[in-house]
Amino acid sequence: MHATKQRTASADPATGVVFETRELSRHYGSGDTLVKALDKVSLTIAPGEFTAIVGPSGSGKSTLLQLMGGLEAPTAGEVYLRGQAISSMSGRELSDFRRDHIGFIFQAYNLIPVLTAAENCEYIMLLQGLPKAERQARVESMLTRVGLSGKADRRPAQLSGGQQQRVAVARAMVSQPDIILADEPTANLDSQTGSDLLDMMHELNRREGMTFVFSTHDPMIMERASRLIQLRDGRIESDEVRS
Amino acid sequence: MQMTWQLAARNLNRNRRRTLLTGLIISLSTAALILTDAFILGFTDTAVRSATRMFPGDAQIHQLDYLAERDEALVIEAPQARLSQLASDPEVVGYSPRVMAFGMISSAADNRATQVIGIDPAQERTVSRLADAMAEGDYLAGDGAETQLLMGRRLAELLDVELGDRIVISVHNQEWGGAEQALFRVSGLYDFNARMLDEETVFVLQAPLQTMLGVDDAVHEIALALRTPALASDPDLPLWQRLSDEQVKAQGWTTLMPQLAAMLDMTRASMAIIGIMLFLLAALGVTNGIFMSIYERTWEIGVLLAIGTRRLAVFRLILTETLLLALGAIAAGLVLGWLATLTLGAIGIDYGSMELGGVAMAEQIRPRASWAQYSLYPPVVLALTLLAAMYPAAHAARIVPSRALHKSL
Ligand SMILES: Nc1ncnc2c1ncn2[C@@H]1O[C@H](COP(=O)(O)OP(=O)(O)O)[C@@H](O)[C@H]1O
Ligand SMILES: [Mg+2]
């Protein structure tokens, strides 16, 4: 479909930083109704991190993930992907940036209902212009790694909520992005299923070095993170790396 | 690209009822366009045939100035040579020489100004329906009495005469310039369902009228029936050249009956306007159907855009869906329109004795298929449908993913 940029290692070993935000702000409204959804947030994400963004509802978790993923433009500040600012990108460049560098997992309904699990994963590689053999090999191996090898031909409606989220993880991974941004990926699952999904994500992080940033307000889930960033009122309240 | 087609086809299959309804709008408007066109063709056929075959003929030959002045002195001299030429012209299947006079006709009860037409009964049969229109008495006999006279039943009522009653005709003699009178007897009554012919015309044999007018064997008009009547609407037909010279001029019905031609043009124009308006309504229906399908998928389109689908690809997806839908729907519409044309063409639409522009619709209207309907309308409908899809497709392409997904990310 489109020429793909040759993918190198996800992280830039020279700096040890995949993602960086500098003084990142996003305001909604104006005057009395001004909401500082995000207020001068600066942080860096190193390759292979398994970072949880936590905080009460309305603290700015979703806004931060949207800005990092190039889905929203900041009011002020900048997002850098391996040193390159994304604010200068055109709409189309942003589209391609998301396609090639970001894996997204949303809270629910991630999948295209008319496509099978395998096709949902294949779709993004079609956008990247990968050859058929490569696409099929990656889909097969990816679905196996998320434990859905027998369900490749099922449509989302024929899968449970937990299985759908696993396909979403697989889709986010197959395009080999630099980072996967997941906004409350377990919020729509029961706690056991959510916990299993997170274990699986953690496994992929440990074994394959994939960088994850996910938001949650579930204490059980945040326990698993290797780094915990606490947001409150659009500001970073604490940022701790755990063993 | 292959994914676009696959997605489009599956998306159409999702809400089958809406797809069917939107498709039905396209199918029905395609069929309606075809049937309307076929109806206009059939209507034109019938109107023209009714008008020309009833009496005037597909074409006529006159002395150059006759039609402008209607002066009985402007005759076609010694018509015999011309009639022989017509008899051997392959394009001419019938011809009738006519002597045309304006006169006064009187019964015992009343008198009226009418047109008096002298005909050759056998030749008149080859052009007009006068013989078929006879309601009482007999058609003129070529070898019968010189006093035979045909008039419309309506005129007979107005003059209070019956078959066999006497009629005095008075015309203007061209030789000595005075009124010439002669006695006739009503030998037949006809019904054309056309006012001019039924109330303001009488028919007699050619010879007595020529004597009264003092024009020897000259006639005023030669009416023609053509092998291909449709050709007569062409003002540049070579036949007109062939039959015209420095004394006479041959013309087809469009020039002879400009009111009829104008009426048909108007009918076509108003049908075209109605067609365009119907199609605009249909296009709105299509636009609406596509919008509904997009609103239902706002979230999903948000996902597509978020994970890196370009806006142009989303635009293309919606247009591809519309293209697939339109192709199927237009194909169905073609079949539907064809069946409707065939059915109505076989049954015929009865207009009774409705008179249009002085012409009674003598026959049923039979919708007629033409190649243009099946070669011209499908691409036009397809193009308009795609045009109707542009707006919703552009809307889909402009969906803001973060807003579409605001419940989550
Ligand atoms: N599109 C928007 N328009 C106006 N206010 C918004 C919009 N998106 C988010 N906000 C506000 O920004 C703040 C942060 O929201 P969000 O990032 O969704 O928080 P979280 O994901 O942590 O619950 C909230 O007060 C929310 O009401
Ligand atoms: Mg949120």
pLDDT at position B50 is 80
Q: Give this prediction's pTM.
A: 0.81
pLDDT at position B268 is 86
Which own/partner pairs from B233-236 qualify as long-range (CB within 8 Å, at least 24 positions apart)?
A: B233/B48, B233/B261
**CA–CA min distance B311, chain A (Å):** 8
pLDDT at position B362 is 63
**Helix runs in chain A, H state only:** 61-68, 91-101, 117-128, 132-145, 161-174, 191-208, 219-222
pLDDT at position A180 is 96
pLDDT at position B264 is 87
pLDDT at position B360 is 62
Tell me how far the alpha carbon of residue A190 lies from the centroid of ligand 1, in angstroms. Answer: 25
Give all domains of chain A, ordered by start, each with its CATH number: 13-241 (3.40.50.300)
Q: Which residue has the tokens 């009343």?
A: B110
- Flag whether pLDDT at A3 surpasses 50: no
Is A55's C-beta closer than 6 angstroms to any atom of ligand 1?
A: yes
Model pLDDT for residues A202-216, shown as the tens digit of each residue: 999 999 999 999 999
- Nearest residue CA, atom 16 of ligand 1? A60
8 Å CB contact of B408 and A62? yes
How far is A128 from A151, CA to CA, in rounded Å?
24
- Flag whether pLDDT at A5 surpasses 50: no
pLDDT (mean) for A171-186: 94
Residue A42 contacts residue A231 (beta carbons within 8 Å):
no
Task: Quote the tokens at residue B345.
Answer: 């063409």
Beta-ladder partners of A52: A214, A228
Under DSSP, the state recorded for A129 is T
What contacts A234, CB < 8 A, 6 or more positions away?
A: A25, A26, A36, A37, A38, A39, A41, A59, A60, A63
How far is B257 from B51, CA to CA, in rounded Å?
9
Residue A67 contacts residue A144 (beta carbons within 8 Å):
no
Beta-ladder partners of B102: B115
Q: Which residues in chain B show pLDDT less than 50?
A: 408-409
Residue B321, phi then psi, degrees to nearest 5: -60, -45
8 Å CB contact of B309 and A127? yes
8 Å CB contact of B307 and A171? yes
Residue boundaries of the structural domains of chain B: 2-52+261-404, 59-251
How far is A198 from A182, CA to CA, in rounded Å?
11
- Flag whether pLDDT at A7 surpasses 80: no
